Chains A and B, each alone.
Chain A
Amino acid sequence: MAAGTLAAALGVSVLAACGGESDDSTSSDGAKSKSVTLVAHDSFAASDSVLKEFTEQTGYTVKVLKSGEAGEALNKEILTKGSPQGDVFFGVDNTLLSRALDNGLFTPYEAKGLDQVRADVRLDDDKHRVTPVDTGDICVNYDKKYFTDKKLAPPQSFADLTKPAYKDLLVVENAAQSSPGLGFLLGTVAAYGDDGWQGYWKQLRANGVQVVDSWEQAYNEEFSGSAGGKKAEAERPLVVSYASSPPVEVLYADPQPKEAPTGVATGTCFRQIEFAGLLQGAKNEAGGKALLDFLVSKTFQEDMPLNMFVNPVVDGAKLPTLFTDHGAVIDQPKTVGPEKIAENRDEWIQSWSSLVVK
């Protein structure tokens, strides 16, 4: 019996070893392979010209693999740790950082040019397992037209959102699945404290908050202020999005308006920092390291804002005028320390789910 099992098992292993398809990112003689794979969440974007520049500098072509929402993309890598789907993972943020580090997902590497990165975002500076790439502020956005038509002042703070005047107007993302959703939840935790936030969400729920799974769905399908939402005749004038969303609306409008159609409720913001790291067991480590260096280079950092609508982390990286004209500068974003997030995140998400979704 045991012998039979072993034989069957070995048979399958041999079968697998023989039957594996050739994979172009590995080569049997260990020669330098010509492509490097970046595993990222669905919101990753970069200009082709910039990726070409990387190829010219290093000889590697970049393959981008989008692996789902931020949390799910990270979990997939954790579940298949040691046999990763790519070389570099981009898009683990401060809310998920501890999970990635505790699971030993990344090979330490100090990127060239890290000294140019702002000190306040270098959260793993003693071990360099991850490299900070960008920051963004998660805030409630409002549809300016709706509020002018209704002669109603748009909300500015967390407390405003629970007022009867704003009943049934807000759409948020699922905190269990989407990083802006979680960021907004953490913002409320920071604002109302460990004991107060649940009461706040009960009020939000009573005020008709809508929950959807992803940012794309919330912003482009349910929010009336976005171009996509207008096309879909969306009905909610308040959405959890980013401080950089209004410039985006201007950029994609044709012709470009003088003023952004949406505004930011500056008292509802949570600061998010996104990191990248070299995956443990990467097939192309050298290429992965070169890619990490590139992610904190000025070229990439200045290309990022108009592709992913995030803020650069490198000193001296210029913001496009679109951002300086239409973006909101958030002076006092809410933050929660990564350790505290690590200790409580699951519990918070669980009680949030029970409170709001189920």
Chain B
Amino acid sequence: MAVPVAFFAVFFAYPVTAIVGRGLKADGSWHWGRFGEVLSRPDIGQVLWFTTWQAALSTALTLLIALPGAYVFARFEFPGKQLLRAVVTVPFVLPTVVVGTAFLALLGRGGLLDELWGVRADTTVWAILLAHVFFNYAVVVRTVGGLWAQLDPRQEEAARVLGAGRFAAWWRVTLPALGPAVAAAALMVFLFTFTSFGIVQILGGPAYSTLEVEIYRQTAQLLDLPTAAVLTMVQFAAVGGILALHAWTVRRRETALKLVDPAQTVRRPRGAAQWALLVGVLGTVLLLILLPLGVLIERSLDGPGGYGFDYYRALRSVEASGGTFLVPPLEAVWNSLRYALAATVIALVVGGLAAAALTRRAGRLARGFDALLMLPLGISAVTVGFGFLITLDKPPLDLRASWILVPLAQALVGVPFVVRVMLPVLRAVDGRLREAAAVLGASPSRVWREVDLPMVRRAVLVAAGFAFAVSLGEFGATVFIARPDRPTLPVAVARLLGRPGDLNYGQAMALSTVLMVVCAVSLLVLERIRTDRSGEF
């Protein structure tokens, strides 16, 4: 318990409170009036409004497009289903920077649509919304589809026998049963889109910014720390609200539903309507998910001298980046892997100890501790990075010039995943085994090694995979603290995109593709390990 608490105190609570202090304290007194000043500014009002409505619209669109998908994946048996399920999940582990780049390749200047029909849709709301749907499709399919597969179809059939129409039966019976799962998925999507950073940064242009992007702009471009601090707190409050709602719906999800084995409900599609639905969903997946990724790969190969690996080769030289980096962009691959490894170790130690502490204790304190561990998911990553920058700059904690800073920030985001994966497994270990071992004279550490570890080894691997993937794609915090002589992959991609010229654009596409492959491989390995579905994800 002491280690995770200390970790959070130093690397989370301290930087975040320091920012709040920096923004709201002047000459030793608090200025709560700044809230009013900042929030009454029309440009900030615009940002708040845009953040909210684009998140609401993204969520609605995602549900609209993904619910049929959830149904098809839950209820139909068709060839290639397993593969497709994995493909649908790929976007969610992709770094937002890659998603932004892929949609830029599709909708931006010189993109696919631009070449075919002269259509450009980057710097429009539509590009942002589409990218958000792409990113969150899997959330709905997995959360809602998982439950849908286990709903007993006989309940709906009973309603039909009693005279309800097909739609009425679905509306009255199935939807209420799915309700909590849909709500939970919707809230997750809302949370991700509300705090969207990388996607909006790349596709939004100067006119659109979410709170997260605005916090970054106020800090990096305007150096207006008070405004950034106020916005941080506003976002924190909003996210806290969303997380609380989410926790409540998750608790409600366990209501008395009659669940059956998914194998019983799955069947081959029958009749024109069902086939049409299946084809429609497959078409959606093709257009929405495979097309952007395909275009990204195509662009990365479409070099100045025809198709080939020119852009990939350019990644090996410092000169080709024109002084954007002090190292060849390809170095970023090794940096990212090194950072991700370090972050994974930190997240596993902290998260593992936290999960262990939570299994031993119950009650209000433990619940509060559990909630505390979830907070980093919600507080703006940009804020964490920014907080690191302004707090960890004095001895004994002068880490600004140190490489460890990046993995620390990334581990902070990885810990909640580790806890969520480990906790259910640890709770399932029979306590009497531990007691028996202790009675036979094993020390506590030996009990852990001999009893718990063999049982949780798989969960540890899965948790490690998550922590690794999260830190590979982390952008919001890293963009502040990664030094230009040691960029990570997402930061390098964003920097290349920010520079003019075909060569930089091509290199950004190539580097994004590299990052996509690294993440996809991590995911596939993860899927191989996860044969049992005991985790909460």
Name A's B-contacting residues (CB within 8 A): 1, 4-5, 7-10, 12-13, 15-17, 19-21, 37, 40, 42, 44, 63-68, 71-72, 75-76, 78-80, 82-83, 85, 99, 174, 176-177, 211-214, 216-217, 220-221, 228, 232, 346, 349-350, 353-354, 357-358
Q: Assuming the A-B contacts A8-B7, A72-B221, A358-B43, are A221 and B389 also in contact, with contact meaning beta carbons closer than 8 angstroms in the complex? A: no
B389–A75 touching, CB < 8 Å:
no
6 contacts between A and B (CB under 8 A): A17-B402, A21-B486, A82-B393, A176-B222, A357-B206, A358-B46
Sort A-B residue pairs by CB-CB distance and give the 5 closest, nearest first: A216-B500, A16-B402, A8-B6, A4-B2, A66-B323
B10 contacts partner chain A, Cβ-Cβ < 8 Å: yes
Residues of A within 8 A of B486 (CB): 21
CA distance A348 to B397 in the complex (A): 38
A47 to B397, CA, bound (A): 41
> Which residues of chain B (164-219) have a CB below 8 Å from chain A?
205-207, 217, 219
**Which B residues lie within 8 Å of A174 (CB)?**
206
Interface pair B393/A5, CB less than 8 Å apart: no
- B222 (CB) vs chain A CBs: closest residue: A176
| Contacts known (A1-B5, A7-B6); A20 close to B403, Cβ less than 8 A | yes
| Complexed CA–CA distance, A12 and B399 (Å) | 9
* Count of CB-CB pairs between chains A and B under 8 Å: 130
Of the candidates B46, B206, B389, which one forms a contact with A79 in the assembled complex, judged by CB atoms under 8 Å apart?
Answer: B389
For A40, A65, A174, A232, the residue with the greatest tally of chain B CB atoms inside 10 Å of its CB is A65
Q: Which of A63, A66, A78, A232 contacts B109 (CB 8 A)?
A: A232
Residue B536, interface by CB 8 Å: no
B41 near A: Cβ within 8 Å?
yes
Beyond known contacts A13-B395, A21-B486: 18 more, CB 8 A cutoff: A1-B5, A4-B3, A9-B10, A16-B402, A16-B403, A19-B403, A64-B323, A65-B323, A65-B484, A68-B498, A72-B221, A76-B220, A79-B390, A99-B223, A176-B221, A228-B500, A350-B41, A354-B46
Chain B residues, Cβ within 8 Å of A13 = 395-399
Residue in contact with A217 in the complex, picked from B324, B326, B500, CB distance below 8 Å: B500
List CB contacts (< 8 Å) of B1-21 with chain A.
Answer: 2-3, 5-7, 9-10
- Measured CB to CB, the nearest residue on chain A to B396 is A13
Q: Is the CB of B206 within 8 A of A346?
A: no
Q: Are A20 and B2 in contact (CB under 8 A)?
A: no
| A residues near B220, Cβ cutoff 8 Å | 72, 75-76, 79
- Does B25 interact with chain A (Cβ within 8 Å)? no
Q: Among B110, B217, B389, B404, which residue has its beta carbon within 8 angstroms of that of A12?
A: B404
Q: Would A19 and B404 count as touching, CB distance under 8 A?
A: yes
Task: Tell yes or no: B224 within 8 A of A by CB.
Answer: yes
Q: Does B408 contact A (CB under 8 A)?
A: yes
Chain B residues, CB < 8 A from A9: 6, 10, 396-397
Number of interface residues of B (CB under 8 A): 51
| Alpha-carbon separation in the docked complex, A67 to B220 (Å) | 12
A67 touches B484 (CB 8 A): yes
Task: Kindly list chain A residues whose C-beta atoms are within 8 Å of the C-beta of B206.
Answer: 174, 177, 211-213, 357
A299, chain B: closest CB distance, angstroms: 20
Interface readout for B19-47 with A: 1 if CB under 8 Å, 0 if not? Answer: 00000000000000000000001110011
Interface of chain B: mostly helix, strand, loop or mixed: loop
Q: Does B434 contact A (CB under 8 A)?
A: no
Complex CA–CA separation, A16 to B484 (angstroms): 18
Taking CB atoms, residues of chain B closer than 8 Å to A228 are 500
Using A13-B399, A19-B403, A85-B483 as known contacts, say yes or no to A80 and B221 having CB atoms under 8 A apart: no
A216 to B483, CA, bound (A): 24
Residues of chain B in range 474-489 having any CB-CB distance to chain A below 8 Å: 480, 483-486
Say whether, besides A64-B323, A350-B43, A358-B46, A78 and B223 are in contact (CB < 8 Å). yes
Which residues in B have some Cβ–Cβ distance to A below 8 Å?
2-3, 5-7, 9-10, 41-43, 46-47, 109-110, 205-207, 217, 219-224, 322-324, 326, 389-390, 393, 395-405, 408, 480, 483-486, 498-500
CB distance from A91 to the nearest CB of B (A): 12
Distance to closest chain A CB from B352 (angstroms): 15
Q: A1-B2, A78-B223 are in contact. Are A85 and B109 (CB under 8 A)?
A: no
Chain B hits for A176, CB < 8 A: 217, 221-222
Give which listed residue, A8, A65, A346, A353, contacts B326 with CB less than 8 A.
A65
Complexed CA–CA distance, A78 and B220 (Å): 10
In the complex, the chain B residue whose C-beta lies closest to that of A64 is: B323
Q: Of the candidates B323, B390, B400, which one forms a contact with A83 in the assembled complex, judged by CB atoms under 8 Å apart? A: B400
> Given A216-B500, A358-B42, are A44 and B323 also a contact pair (CB < 8 Å)?
yes
Q: Which residues of A contact B398 (CB under 8 A)?
A: 13, 83
The residues of A that contact B401 with a CB separation of less than 8 Å are 20, 83
Contact, CB under 8 Å: B396 / A10? yes
**Contact partners of B41 in chain A: CB under 8 A:** 350, 354
B122 to chain A, nearest CB (A): 12
Inter-chain contact A177/B221, CB cutoff 8 Å: yes
| A213 cross-chain contacts in B, Cβ below 8 A | 205-206
What chain A residues lie within 8 Å of B3 (beta carbons)?
A: 4, 8
Check A4 against B5 for contact (C-beta < 8 Å): yes
Residues of B within 8 A of A40 (CB): 323
Cα separation A339 to B206 with both chains bound (whole Å): 28
Residues of chain A contacted by B403 (CB below 8 angstroms): 16, 19-21
- Please tell me which one of the listed residues A4, A16, A216, A350 contacts residue B404 in the complex, with CB atoms under 8 A apart: A16
Known: A16-B404, A21-B403, A72-B221. A4 touches B43 (CB 8 A): no
Specify which of A8, A67, A75, A83 is in contact with B10 (CB 8 Å cutoff).
A8
Given contacts A65-B484, A66-B322, A85-B485, contact A80 B389 (CB under 8 A): yes
Complex Cα spacing A4 to B393, Å? 21
Q: Write the nearest CB–CB distance from A14 to chain B, whole angstroms.
A: 9
- B315 CB to closest chain A CB (Å) equals 17
User: How far, in Å, is B483 (CB) from chain A's closest CB?
Assistant: 6
> B366 to chain A: closest CB distance in Å?
17
- Please state if A16 and B396 are interface contacts (CB–CB under 8 Å): no
- In the complex formed, the residue of A with least CB distance to B47 is A358
Given the interface pairs A4-B6, A75-B221, A176-B221, the reply to whether A80 lies near B400 with Cβ below 8 Å is yes
Q: Which residues of A contact B10 (CB under 8 A)?
A: 5, 8-9, 12
Q: Of B6, B42, B222, B323, which is within 8 A of A354 by CB?
A: B42
Alpha-carbon gap, A10 to B390, bound state (A): 18
- Chain A residues with CB under 8 Å of B399's CB are 12-13, 16
A15 vs B498: C-alpha distance when bound (angstroms): 34
Q: How far is the CA of A9 from the CA of B399 in the complex (A)?
A: 11
Give the shortest distance, in Å, between B503 (CB) and chain A (any CB): 13
Taking CB atoms, residues of chain B closer than 8 Å to A42 are: 324, 499
A67: B residues at CB distance < 8 A: 484
Most A CB atoms within 10 A — which of B7, B224, B396, B500?
B500
A348 → B minimal CB distance (Å): 12
**Which residues of chain B are within 8 angstroms of A68 by Cβ–Cβ distance?**
498
